[in-house]
Amino acid sequence: MMTWLLLLFLTGCLFNLGIGLWVILVHFFRTDVPAAIGHTGRFRVLHCLYLLVVTWGNILEKLGICSMPKFIRFLHDRIPIRKDPDVVVTKLHFGTIPVRLYQPKAPSRRPRCGIIFFHGGGCTFGSLRIYNSLCCHLSRESDSVVMTPGYRMVPDHRYPSPFYDCMAASIHFLRTLETYGVDPSRVIICGDSAGGSCATSVCQSLMTQPDLPKIRAQILIYPYLQGFNFQLPSHQQNRNVPFLSWNTFTSCMFQYFDIHPSWETTIWNGAHVPPEMREKSEERISDRNIPKRFKERGYQPMSPGPFNEIAYLETKQLLWTMNSPLMAENDIIAQLPETLLVTCEFDILRDDALLYKKRLEDQGVPVSWHHIEDGFHGVILSFDIKPFFFPCSLRILSIVIHFIKDL
């Protein structure tokens, strides 16, 4: 019996060693780590830990034990929450949607600013729990009431469930602002990554509902905004940069929209966009609209491949305005509120925000834009994680808080 237990133990050790070696090889041979990010040792360790968790998640998924997204969400929801003594956190439900409300403890002489915050994670990772510290920080430092919904995510819930949850929670909050001591003239929609994409679409949708309080501003932190062109400079330059490489990006996108992975190359080449849509998309989603300095770090312009009708029928939801808000009509864009855009240099989605900036400015919408030269996708979550802290995360939060206070 002892012999079998010893063999089982040694097998487990060797298996774990093999996984560790595989993770290290993948990191060093398939990953780009730009020196300009700084703290590259910290960055490498963090990415290796991320790869280790994803690898174990994939193994458990293949064994039929648990899906990879659920495994990762289970792990990051085991991270202890630090209570903020200056913020009251209330767990609510708006209908069936779990919501967290963050309110400063200090009394206020007047109704506060309200922030509707949508968390990131590609509708695959992320949760109310892992964004708790960030929402506390926003509420405390900007003296605002923050509402964030726990929208449904893959694999159990795909498009359009997350958007509908965010839209429903936003409408409920907007109709009950007085209950939470929020000034109806100072409501902001905010989000990072997929949350930034949802914030963009929700904000555009709310423009068509005059019975609700008007949104004062939107804050979009490295958002995904279009499914037409995946050959922009940032896609080419940052294809292998963590924590949103092309492989991670397509994995989240295909799961969310229920697209088969076999269409990856077709989408990368732009062959899923029909000819009648290409003219408009070329006008709005073209490298001509991206400043020259963002093309200098290795960029090769490419023409889209020949149209593939089957690919279009399988992936056409990528092109709908709800999922490509960068393509919204001018009359919708012109109604949008003052906007803060935050981009990171080493982010595959950088150019989506640059193109949206131009569209907003062309329609007379006031835009504040901040570009983080040493930033990468997802960095904002490192602001209070001491072993893996990156200074630019606090710079982003400082930018956001100053923007809110100046409204």
* Catalytic residue ranges: 193, 347, 377
What contacts 313, CB < 8 A, 6 or more positions away?
A: none
Q: Distance (Å, rounded) from C-alpha 41 to C-alpha 53?
A: 19
Distances (CA, A) of 314 to 101, 225, 256, 267, 357: 39, 19, 13, 11, 30
Helix axes 40-62, 2-30, angle to 10 degrees: 130
Cα distances (Å, whole numbers) of residue 255 to 68, 176, 276: 11, 34, 27
Instruction: Tokens for 184, please give them.
Output: 């109806």
Please calculate the CA angle 253-317-216 and round it to the nearest 5 degrees: 85
Helices 391-406 and 132-142 cross at an angle (nearest 10°) of 40
**DSSP state for residue 299 in the 8-state scheme:** -
C-beta of residue 314 within 8 angstroms of C-beta of residue 275:
no
Task: State both tokens at 119.
Answer: 């968390």
Sheet holding 338-346, edge to edge: 87-94, 97-104, 144-149, 112-118, 182-192, 217-221, 338-346, 367-376
Long-range contacts of 48-56, Cβ-Cβ distance < 8 Å, separation of 24 or more: 48/23, 48/24, 50/242, 50/243, 51/23, 51/26, 51/27, 52/19, 52/20, 52/23, 55/19, 55/22, 55/23, 56/19
Nearest to 221 by CA among 344, 326, 128, 38: 344
CB 393 within 8 A of CB 380: yes
- Residues in CB range of 28: below 8 A, 6 or more apart: none
Residue 406, C-beta contacts closer than 8 angstroms, at least 6 positions apart = none
